[in-house]
Structure 1
Amino acid sequence: MNPDDTVTVLIPGDLHLTEAGLPNHAAAVRTVADANELIRPDFVQFIGDNVQDGTDEQFSLFSDLCARLRVPWFALVGDHDAQGDPAACRFRARVGDPCGSLSVRGFRFVRLNTQEAHPVGLSARQMTWFRAEVDAARAAGERVVVLQHNYPYQIWEDFAGAGTDAWREVVQTRRVHAIVSGHTHYWQLANDGRNAAVAVRSIGDPEGGPPGYAVAAFHGEDFAVAYRPVDDCGPLVLVTHPREAILATGPAHVVTSADEVRARVWSAEPVRAVGLCVDGGAWVPMGPCGNGFWRAPLPGSRLAKGVHRLVVRAEDGTGGAGAHEVEFAVDPTGRYTAVPMVRPLVTSTAFC
C-alpha cells in the first residue's frame, strides 16, 4: 500500500448561508480553515444547498468563503441554491457548471445535478452523459464515485422524479464505488446490498448532532469516511482498512486471512502514539508508514467468521486524543453478500 495513492476528499454539509457572522457561516469558515491547515485534501466537495435562498448576495458570501481555500474545490447545486431559479442560472453564473467529472489516481468523481426537475430529477441529456461517463471510467480501469445533492434514501421524501429510474439503472447495473450526498440534514451511512452511500449532516440546520464535515479516503477497494464536528480540536482518526462492514458491498471488502489495519491521522500537534483494539481486547501499538498513515498487523486468520469491532485511537503530545470505531467483516472462504442497512436509523426529520 502506497499512502501517496490515497485520494482524500473533504465534504462540508449543506451550508445554507445567508449572512456573515451567523453560526453556520462561522462553522463554514472553520471548515475551510481545517481544509487548509489540517486535512489538506485533494479537493473540497461542497454538497449543495450552499446558500439558503439563491440570491446574488448569498452567492457572494459563498464565493468569499471559497476564495479562502488553498485546495481545489467543487460545488453541487441544491434545491435552496436554485430557489425560484429552476435552471440554476444564478448558480451557473456565480459558481459554475453543476455537472462534471474529475479523475484522480484511479478514481473518477462524477458530479450530478439532481435539481433539473422539482423536487428531484435528472434530464435525459444528463443521464446520457452520466451513463457514458461511468462506462468510460470503467473502460479506463477507474472506480466511480457519484457526488449528488439528493440522497437516494432520504426519509419522508421520494427519490422518484424525472430520470431517477434511469439513474437507478446505471448504479444498479454498473459497479459504483460510493455515492455521497447531502440534503438530509442528518448524518447517515447506507448500504442497499449493492452500493454504499453517505449523507453528510447539514452545517446550516444540523439534525442528530453538531455541524461538521465528512472526510473520505479512497484507495483501491477501500472506501472510508468519518464525520468531524467543527468544534473538535484533537486528532482526527480515519480507519482506511479494513473497509467498514456497512460500506462493504462484496467479497473484496472483507478480511479473509492475515491482514493489516491502516489508519490516517490528522493532528495539529505532533502525534505521540496510535493504537488499535479488536473486540475489546488488548491495545496494540501501530507504527507510522508515511504521509500521516499508521499500520499494524491484523490476525485475520485467527478471527472467527463474522463481524468484529475495531477501535483506533491517536494521542498527541498535549494530551489531545481522537478515535475512530468501525465494524469489519471476516470470512476465511471469501464469501460475502451485503445486507441492506443504514446507520444511524433515522425515523423522523424536521426538514422534509
Structure 2
Amino acid sequence: MNSSPLIFAHIGDLHTTKAKEQNYIDLLSIVAQIETELSEQLDFVVLPGDNADNGLAEQYELVTAALKMLSIPVYILAGDHDMEQGNLDNMYQMPLTRQLPLSVLHKDNRCLFIDVCGPGNGGPDFRIGHRQFHWLQNELVAASNAGETILLFMHTFPADLKEPAEQQLLNLLLEKHDVLLVDMGHTHYNEITNNGQTIFTATRSTGQIEEGPVGYSLTAVHDGVISWRFKQLADPFPLAMVTWPADHRLLNRDNQVIEGDYEVSAVILGSGKTLKVECRTGISDWQEMGFSETDNLWKATVHTQEQPSNELTVKATDITGRPGIWTIQPATNNYKEREYKRDGSDADTIGAWPENGLFATQLGPNRNGKPS
C-alpha cells in the first residue's frame, strides 16, 4: 500500500436563494474553511446538485462568488431544483460548471459524474437517458480494463430513478464493474448504505437542514477502503481519518478484514503542523505512528484482538496542543456479514453512527422520517 489516498470534500445541496440567508452564510464559511484548512490535502470538492433553489441566474451568481475562494477543482452536478426553469442553461453559465457527463482520473480512481436531472422535464423526474447510459457503459468498461478504482457521482440513489428499467440497468453495471463508491446528495440527511460491494454515501443538505448541525463530508479512498467522516463546521482541527483498515460498517472487500499483525494508516487533516500521532487497539497503551513521505500517511503496526470487531483509535496532536481523535471498529475473520438487498436504495443502510453525524432519522424529502 504505497499510493496516497484520494480525498474529497462533499458540500451538500446548497439550495441557494439570497445572500442574507443563513444557508448562504454557512456556504461561505464552509468554503473558507476548506480553502484555509484543507486545500493542500484535498483532490477536489463536489457539489451534488440543487445548487440554486429555483434554478435562477442570480442564485448561481451567488454560488459562483462563494466558489471563487477555492483553489482546488470543483465538480458540480445537477439536481431537480436546478431544473426548475425547465433546463440547466443557468447552471451551465457558472464558470466552474463542466459539461456532464464527465470522466476524470484522480490517483488511479476513475471519477464519473453523471446528470440524472437534465434528461427529465424538471422537478423530481430522475432519468439517465439512452445516450448517457451508452457513455457510462463505455467509461466503465475502459476503467475496468485499465484496473482503475471506479467512483460514481450522481444526485440520487439509483432506486430513485423514475424508470424501473434504468434502475435495474444501473445496478447491474455497478455490480458488473465492481464500482466502489456512489456519492450523492438529495436526501438532506447523512446516509451510508453498504451492499457488500458498493458503498453509497449521501451528505446532508447545506441549504435545507432537517437534522444535526451544518457541515460537510470528507471521503478518503485508499486501496479499496472507503473512509467517511462528517465534519461539523464548528468542530476544530486536526481531523484524523483512518484510511486502513476499514470500519466494519464500510467493509466491502474480502481483503479488508484484519488478522494477526496489521498495518494501520491514517491521514491527519488540517493546516496546523502535526507534532505527534498515536494509535491504540482497545484499551492498550498508546503507540506512536511514523510519517511516510511517499504517501503522506501516518503508519504503525498493531495486533488484532480475538473478537468479531476490534476498536482502533488514532489520536493526532498539532502545534496548538489540541488533539484530534477518531475511533473505528475493524472487522476480523470472525465478523459475520449481514444479507444484502442490493437494489440501489437505502435498504442496506448501515444505520445510526451518531458520532459521525448519522442519526438514522431520515429527516428530509427523500423519506420524510421522524425522530425516534
The TM-score normalised by the length of structure 2 is 0.85
**Residues 55, 75 of structure 1: CA spacing in aligned structure 2 closer, same or farther, 3 A cutoff?**
same
Partner of 1:27: 26
Answer yes or no: is the 8 Å Cα contact 1:305–1:330 preserved in 2. yes
Secondary structure, counterpart of 1:135 in structure 2: helix
Secondary structure, counterpart of 2:71 in structure 1: coil
Partner of 1:18: 17
Answer yes or no: is the 8 Å Cα contact 2:180–2:199 preserved in 1. yes
Secondary structure, counterpart of 2:173 in structure 1: helix
1:238-257 equivalence runs, <5 A: 238-257=241-260
Q: For 1:200-244, what per-residue CA distance to the aligned partner results, in whole angstroms no more than 9, with x for missing partners? A: 121112233211111112222222121111122221111111012
User: Structure 1 stretches of 5 or more lacking a match?
Assistant: 153-157
Partner of 1:346: 360
For 1:263 and 1:150, locate their aligned partners in 2 and report how far apart those are by CA, in whole Å. 30
Answer yes or no: is the 8 Å Cα contact 1:182–1:199 preserved in 2. yes
For 1:56 and 1:161, locate their aligned partners in 2 and report how far apart those are by CA, in whole Å. 27
Question: 2:147 aligned with 1:141, yes or no?
Answer: yes
Partner of 1:90: 90
| Matching residue's letter, 1:298 | V
User: Structure 2 stretches of 5 or more lacking a match?
Assistant: 341-347, 353-358, 367-372
Answer yes or no: is the 8 Å Cα contact 1:251–1:336 preserved in 2. no
| Matching residue's letter, 1:81 | D
Deviation at 1:337, TM superposition (A): 7.4
For 1:281 and 1:108, locate their aligned partners in 2 and report how far apart those are by CA, in whole Å. 39
Partner of 2:38: 39
For 1:228 and 1:211, locate their aligned partners in 2 and report how far apart those are by CA, in whole Å. 9
Structure having the larger proportion of residues in strand? 1
Q: For 1:42-88, what per-residue CA distance to the aligned partner results, in whole angstroms no more than 9, with x for missing partners? A: 11111111121110000111111222211111100111111132x42
Answer yes or no: is the 8 Å Cα contact 1:245–1:328 preserved in 2. yes
Match of 1:297 among 269, 278, 301: 301
| Deviation larger for 138-147 or 223-232 | 223-232
Partner of 1:173: 176
Deviation at 1:180, TM superposition (A): 0.7
**Residues 348, 72 of structure 1: CA spacing in aligned structure 2 closer, same or farther, 3 A cutoff?**
closer
For 1:350 and 1:343, locate their aligned partners in 2 and report how far apart those are by CA, in whole Å. 16
Superposition RMSD in Å? 2.3
| Matching residue's letter, 1:76 | L
1:1-352 equivalence runs, <5 A: 1-2=1-2, 5-40=4-39, 41-85=42-86, 87-94=87-94, 95-115=97-117, 116-117=119-120, 118-152=124-158, 159-162=160-163, 163-290=166-293, 292-300=296-304, 303-331=305-333, 340-344=348-352, 346-352=360-366
Answer yes or no: is the 8 Å Cα contact 1:121–1:164 preserved in 2. no
| Matching residue's letter, 2:303 | P
| Deviation larger for 313-322 or 49-58 | 313-322
Secondary structure, counterpart of 1:259 in structure 2: strand
Deviation at 1:146, TM superposition (A): 0.6
Answer yes or no: is the 8 Å Cα contact 2:56–2:85 preserved in 1. no
Among all aligned residue pairs of Structure 1 and Structure 2, give the percentage whose two residues are the same amino acid: 25
| Matching residue's letter, 2:149 | R
Answer yes or no: is the 8 Å Cα contact 2:104–2:110 preserved in 1. yes
The TM-score normalised by the length of structure 1 is 0.89
For 2:339 and 2:271, locate their aligned partners in 1 and report how far apart those are by CA, in whole Å. 37
**Residues 336, 256 of structure 1: CA spacing in aligned structure 2 closer, same or farther, 3 A cutoff?**
farther
Deviation at 1:111, TM superposition (A): 0.4
For 1:89 and 1:19, locate their aligned partners in 2 and report how far apart those are by CA, in whole Å. 20
For 2:260 and 2:336, locate their aligned partners in 1 and report how far apart those are by CA, in whole Å. 12
Secondary structure, counterpart of 1:227 in structure 2: strand
For 1:45 and 1:270, locate their aligned partners in 2 and report how far apart those are by CA, in whole Å. 26
| Matching residue's letter, 1:184 | T
Q: For 1:248-277, what per-residue CA distance to the aligned partner results, in whole angstroms no more than 9, with x for missing partners? A: 112122223421111111233322332223
| Matching residue's letter, 1:110 | L
| Deviation larger for 43-52 or 205-214 | 205-214
For 1:64 and 1:14, locate their aligned partners in 2 and report how far apart those are by CA, in whole Å. 16
| Deviation larger for 8-17 or 23-32 | 23-32
| Deviation larger for 134-143 or 287-296 | 287-296
Secondary structure, counterpart of 1:92 in structure 2: helix
